[in-house]
Structure 1
Amino acid sequence: MEIASGLIKLRQGFDSNVEYWQQTMSTRIDEVMQSLQAEGVQIESWFKVKIEGDDYLIWYMRAESIERAVEVFQQSSKDIDKFHFEVLSQITAPDGFINAEPLLDFHH
């Protein structure tokens, strides 16, 4: 298993878009789970945090292959994947994608 994580700095004034994204993804869980399975993703988690007045999303993923998971997602024709990509594109600040360097990941 491989892991990846990062921060996404959010554009100011897009709180309602983040809420809409969260609600939509939560109510379409069957589609989300099918997509994760196709991508080989075991865990995908999202958190919202405020740092020095700016809002960020923190994401974490564990997958068989991160590269393959990203490739499958980017090539997906599934409506839920298109929705996810479109909303993230709208709410992400310019140069707002920050990768995190994995250091430790414990699981049993």
Structure 2
Amino acid sequence: MEYASGLIKLKAGTEDKVEEWRSTIASRLDEAAATLQDEEVQIESWFKVEIDGEKYLLWYLRAKSIRRVFEISMQLKHPIDKFHYKLMAEITSEDGNILAEPLIDIPRE
């Protein structure tokens, strides 16, 4: 398994859009799960973080291939993917994508 994580710096005043994204994904979990199945994702998690007054989303993925996750997701097979990428483009600051350097991931199995 591979894993990846990063921060998405949010544009100021996009808290309502973040909540719209969260509630939409939560209400369409079957569709989101189908996307994860296609991408061979084992875990996808999202968190809100505030650092020095700046707001971020923190994401984490564990999958068979992180590269494959992004290749498959960009095909926009599921309508939820289109919604996700459109909304992310609306809320992400210009300098907003910060990838984390993977150090260790400890699965139980």
**Normalising by the residue count of structure 1, what TM-score does the alignment of the two structures yield?**
0.98
SS at match of 1:96: strand
1:44 CA drift (Å)? 0.3
SS at match of 1:67: helix
Matched residue, 1:78: 78
Per-residue CA deviations over 1:72-92 (Å, capped at 9, x if unaligned) read 000123110000001111000
Matched residue, 1:55: 55
**Normalising by the residue count of structure 2, what TM-score does the alignment of the two structures yield?**
0.97
SS at match of 1:75: coil
1:104 CA drift (Å)? 1.1
Question: Structure 1, unaligned stretches of length 5 or more?
Answer: none
Aligned pairs, number: 108
SS at match of 1:95: strand
Per-residue CA deviations over 1:20-67 (Å, capped at 9, x if unaligned) read 000000000000000000011010000001000010000000000000
Please identify runs of 4+ aligned residues in structure 1 that moved more than 2 A: none
Q: Distance in 1 between the 2:84 and 2:18 partners?
A: 11
Q: Does 1:64 find its partner at 2:69?
A: no
Q: Does 1:6 find its partner at 2:6?
A: yes
Equivalent runs, 1:1-108 vs 2, <5 Å: 1-108=1-108
SS at match of 1:105: coil
**Equivalent AA in structure 1 for residue 16 of structure 2:** S
Per-residue CA deviations over 1:2-37 (Å, capped at 9, x if unaligned) read 000000000000000000000000000000000000
